[in-house]
Chains A and B, each alone.
Chain A
Amino acid sequence: MTSTSATAVLFQNVSRHFGTVRAVDGVDFEIGQGEFFAMLGPSGSGKTTCLRLIAGFEQPTAGHIEIFGETAEGLAPNRRDVNTVFQDYALFPHMTVLNNVAYALMVRGVPRAEREKRAREALSLVRLEGMDARRPAQLSGGQRQRVALARALVNRPKVLLLDEPLGALDLKLREEMQEELRRLHKQLGLTFVFVTHDQGEALSMADRVAVFNKGRIIQVGTPEDIYQRPTTRFVADFVGSSNVLTPDQAPRFGGVSRWTSLRPESILIGATADTMDVRQTAEVIDQQFQGAMRKTRLKINGLEVCAMAPASQTLGVGQAVTVGWSQGALHAMDGEGNDV
């Protein structure tokens, strides 16, 4: 695999070991120019280490990394055209907002008037104006997030790295910032690499998602691929908790003798199930009201399965119901995916 002009970041069989811990273990991927690429996985799965390898805070133990066609291993962070938005923002506490944002220009020797002008532009880009003279400690979490973004964007890096940037924000603010990031991505046309453990965030924001587990990439694909066609049990489980059937159980649900994923929202209950290819009887274990839906636990063929019923559909505990799903909803997978 060699990089083309459209490749922003290339990983070839990259490993990063810390003693006996294989934080990243033989990872290959390619991020296209202008792509919004999410790295998704549980904590300790190697996604953040991959980000740090791109930034240059870590050097690979083995393998090859290219950033815009240039060999990156051995290159110090300050010599890479890549900027990072840190998980806890890492704003300089002794500098004003304006000086924080202008920092990248200051260390490059841009004259004061010029760098302050560009820093103000970056701040208006993230819609944070009139806070120039404040210190980071005087800002709210959301405002700090915007300063960190402006600081990383002020020099128009070729690649913007985001390390769980929304993790510390509350739900409302997080949704707002997700919108904001998507808008910035579209507006600036930069390559974004986004690390998160929140599958909803990865699915809703990214062009492509890489799912990490135990230092390896389990699957790379569009959000639709990842969600609807998980290749392994791990992905099916981690991305939108699916009902995972073992090769023994799958035939009883109308599938083939393989590891099989059946999404909760594909299971219909009651009269709506009559039109479905596969129909079974089930016993209701319990229901949990979740606003738009009712999460319903059912016992089908002696197996506990989760389904999503409309909020209006209230069922009694122990009630016998008809359930059904289409043949196509049964997605056969390659294996477990966590035996790496």
Chain B
Amino acid sequence: MSDLALRRRGPLSSLLDAVYRRPRLFLAVLLAAPLLWLGVIYLGSLFALLAQSFFSLDDFSGVIVREFTLSTWVQLMAPANLDVIVRTVSMSALVTVADAIMAFPIAYYAARYARGPMKAAFYLLVMMPLWSSYLVKVYAWKLILAREGIDTWVLDKIGLKPLLDWYLSLPVIGGPSLSASYTGTFIVFCYVWLPYMILPVQAALERVPGNLIEASADLGASQGATFRHVILPLAFPGVVAGSIFTFSLTLGDYIIPQIVGGSQYYLGQAVYAQQGTAGNIPLAAAFSVVPILIMGVYLTFARKLGAFDAL
């Protein structure tokens, strides 16, 4: 073998060779920084938070008592606090279902029909709302939904104002105006998280081979039957993947319900209020563990449904 056949020159080359021979060493070098960040700073603070929930607040002095106790967790189980949890989880579930229903046709169009410039336009239109500030969008919605807002004005012009008044008079979902009702909160949540549902569903639909749809039609299935038996089952992991986003984002959000909606608290607001004005860090910590637990259960189910293959 000639000298030229094996080109090994200089220390850098030997280092690269060493890395090449030991793939694990290469991985270690590659992952050291992110692992340090995730493991120590992120998970570390998460566990610190969890530990806080086993402390308690001295009601009289407002000082945190750093001794192990379950009293904060007992406090979390108080009916008012359970209400917050139930309200947040229900809202998250409803937003997820509504987003899935709205996202599917859009994603279906993009995956199966849009080509070339239409596809580019689809991505642009779906992503564009994500480029503007979330606060701006929420305040815009507050104005749209306000009693003097565009929606009231339009409904008044087309003579449907009584319908709106009737709707607002309904218990639970009604209120003084849309922007001060559960319905308003629901609409804004749906709007803000919709792109996070569309994109995974579109990706899942994109992966359904066209010839399966042809095969289904060939075997005598109507378009509806093809949708039920072939497209939906194959795209379902994408819906579950999207629901992870819409569900968890709604679960943790504390700005939307503060700006649009009634005065009832959601989990995020409860955490915000407890650690801020109330200064009850242990209860805030206990509150913030709740969505983590809920998401843990949710992700376990999602995994069973194959959602992670669709991400």
Contacts and interface: CB of A to CB of B under 8 A. Distances in A.
A103 B218 contact: no
A83 interface: yes
Contacts of B86: none
Interface stretch (B132-140, B187-195, B209-217, B246-254): B209-217
Contacts of A56: 217-218
A103 B230 CA distance: 10
A88 B211 contact: yes
A78 B220 CA distance: 4
A77 B217 CA distance: 6
Given A93-B234, A151-B219, A155-B220, A103 B229 contact: yes
Given A92-B212, A94-B234, A107 B219 contact: yes
Contact of B214 (A77, A82, A106): A77
A86 B211 contact: yes
Contact of B218 (A77, A93, A94, A108): A77
Contacts of B214: 55, 57, 77, 84, 86, 90
B215 A107 contact: no
A92 B226 CA distance: 11
Interface in A128-149: none
A104 interface: yes
Contact of B211 (A76, A90, A107): A90
A103 B211 contact: no
Nearest to B211: A90
B220 A108 contact: yes
Given A93-B234, A94-B234, A78 B221 contact: yes
Main secondary structure of the interface of B (DSSP, over half): helix
Interface residues of B, number: 17
Interface of B: 209, 211-212, 214-222, 225, 229-230, 233-234
8 contacts: A86-B214, A86-B215, A90-B215, A93-B234, A103-B229, A151-B219, A152-B219, A155-B219
Nearest to A79: B220
A76 B218 CA distance: 9
A107 B218 contact: no
Contact of A107 (B209, B229, B233, B234): B229
A5 to B, nearest CB: 24
A135 to B, nearest CB: 13
A103 B233 contact: no
Contact of B217 (A78, A93, A94, A108): A78
Contacts of A55: 214, 218
Nearest to B306: A94
Nearest to A55: B218
